[in-house]
Structure 1
Amino acid sequence: MTNQPEGLPRSADPAQVNDYDGFAEAYSAENENSLVTRTTSGPRCWPSPETWPAVGSWTPEGQIRFGPGYSRPVLRIESPIATARLTLRPFLPADSEDVYDYQRRPEVARFMRWEPRGPQDVRVAVEQMARETELASDGDCLSLAVVEPGTGTVVGQVELVLLSAEHLQGELGCVFHPAHQGKGFATEAALAVLGLGFGALGLHRVIGRCHAANTASAGLLERVGMRREARFVGTEFFKGAWRDDLVYAMLREEWPDRGRAAAT
């Protein structure tokens, strides 16, 4: 019997799938309410069906659909994703007021490449993030608003950047309102996005980078299970001083154990 990945339709043998349109139709019939679309086109698909990742606990079964239209896997967010306490969804123009409440703050902008933002700058930023709903090509960014369901307030943002489709490399990033730090929200949102990267998109490696003095970001990357790989000294003259950068990373093979441990 074929060792069939959990995320594939039960009617399809991944070692013998050549009709990708038919494969997509078979999967979609079993997963009508998918939240995340992962689309491919053949006959040569990247990666091959045998290597598509299983759908584990971090990417609930039913969130992935396969379909024609692309030469490699594409991750597209179509509707909100619920975690234990939060909702992750694409940004909306109406989110500008909530985003302004944290992006205007000097303590938030301190380690960012932008200065504290005014209302117009935030509107432009939110409009840009609202368009960032798909990972298809190198450099694409998936930006998600982190919403506290009880209040409907956007308390932060979490991002996944596709650094290299060929080499299955991604990068995690996030920004949170200071009033909502210390509650585990950033860890919860980051774990969900790592699950999308490793589970739905099939990334091999995800990194996180931060200013060496940004102890909050470094602590978050360590809490989600990433290892510190490097400290780069004097990488650029940043806001009046030379900047050091820390680089953290995790491999897909490490994700199940480290992700599970971080969530407990």
Structure 2
Amino acid sequence: MKDNEGLESARLMLRRFTPADAPALAAYRSDPEVSRYQSWESPVPMEEAERWANTFSTGNPRDPGWFQYAVERRDVPGLIGDVGVCLSEDGRQAQLGFTFAPVFQGRGYATEAVARTVGHLLVEEGLHRVWATCDGRNVRSAKLLGRVGFRREGHLVQSTWFKGEWTDDVFFGLLASEHRAAPDSGHGS
């Protein structure tokens, strides 16, 4: 991904992170409801957000491992969330994750960003499969994945010791062939 490249949808730009994104990143990732099902603890100190933004800004979306897209609205610049993609070593599958600021939740932005990312991975990049996992209590994320076309593949009961308690893990998957067959797969997004 070159500095000027990114993904666009009707209302959003998914782009490379910049150091200027650190304050917004710290703000929404510090919200206890945002961090509840995520691997980090809140609050997120500004120094940590600056390190994250710098690390995210140097990644290559075509290299194995995690790449984080900064998400902003096309009409008003400014970070509203992020979508992470973890490309497998063989480059044929990817795991997906997403985090959005509370003020921008419930407006379809996360669904639009995830759908655009999935279309990019399965259609433009030619991956075979995209998958995601979420905490069994994270109903909103599970519903979003269903809206985008993911199939629920498994539910592991109390399988992870996480933030001081046993939690369920729910797995979702989507094959390129399923995405192409969907009536509203967003190929032209």
Could you tell me the TM-score, scaled by structure 1's length? 0.66
Displacement of 1:97 in angstroms is 1.1
Task: Tell me the equivalent position of 2:16.
Answer: 90
Which amino acid is the alignment partner of residue 111 of structure 2?
A: T
- Give ranges in structure 2 of 5+ residues lacking alignment: none
Secondary structure of residue in 2 paired with 1:133? coil
1:111 aligns with 2:34: no
For 1:133 and 1:103, locate their aligned partners in 2 and report how far apart those are by CA, in whole Å: 23
Secondary structure of residue in 2 paired with 1:165? coil
Which amino acid is the alignment partner of residue 129 of structure 2?
A: R
Contact 1:191 1:259 in 2 (8 A): no
- Give ranges in structure 1 of 5+ residues lacking alignment: 1-75
Contact 2:119 2:185 in 1 (8 A): no
1:220 aligns with 2:158: no
Contact 2:121 2:127 in 1 (8 A): yes
Identify which of 70, 84, 90 aligns with 1:145.
70
Secondary structure of residue in 1 paired with 2:114? helix
Contact 1:226 1:249 in 2 (8 A): yes
Flag the 1:238–1:114 CA change in 2: closer, same or farther, 3 A.
same
For 2:116 and 2:2, locate their aligned partners in 1 and report how far apart those are by CA, in whole Å: 13
Displacement of 1:165 in angstroms is 1.4
For 2:93 and 2:111, locate their aligned partners in 1 and report how far apart those are by CA, in whole Å: 21
Displacement of 1:148 in angstroms is 1.3
Displacement of 1:77 in angstroms is 5.0
Secondary structure of residue in 2 paired with 1:150? coil
Contact 2:17 2:53 in 1 (8 A): yes
Displacement of 1:136 in angstroms is 2.5
Task: Tell me the equivalent position of 1:197.
Answer: 121
The correspondence of residues 1-264 of structure 1 with structure 2, limited to 5 A, is 76-78=1-3, 79-116=5-42, 117-137=44-64, 140-165=65-90, 168-258=92-182, 260=184
Larger Cα Rg: Structure 1 or Structure 2?
Answer: 1
Secondary structure of residue in 1 paired with 2:10? coil
Displacement of 1:259 in angstroms is 7.0
Instruction: Identify the structure with the greater strand proportion.
Output: 2
Flag the 1:259–1:171 CA change in 2: closer, same or farther, 3 A.
farther
Contact 1:235 1:244 in 2 (8 A): yes
For 1:154 and 1:147, locate their aligned partners in 2 and report how far apart those are by CA, in whole Å: 5
Displacement of 1:81 in angstroms is 2.4
For 1:111 and 1:259, locate their aligned partners in 2 and report how far apart those are by CA, in whole Å: 32
Contact 1:224 1:258 in 2 (8 A): no
For 1:81 and 1:111, locate their aligned partners in 2 and report how far apart those are by CA, in whole Å: 26
Which amino acid is the alignment partner of residue 39 of structure 2?
A: R
Secondary structure of residue in 2 paired with 1:256? helix
Contact 2:179 2:185 in 1 (8 A): no
For 2:20 and 2:154, locate their aligned partners in 1 and report how far apart those are by CA, in whole Å: 39
Identity of aligned residues (%): 32
Which amino acid is the alignment partner of residue 225 of structure 1?
A: G
For 1:210 and 1:77, locate their aligned partners in 2 and report how far apart those are by CA, in whole Å: 31
Which amino acid is the alignment partner of residue 157 of structure 1?
A: D
Displacement of 1:83 in angstroms is 0.8
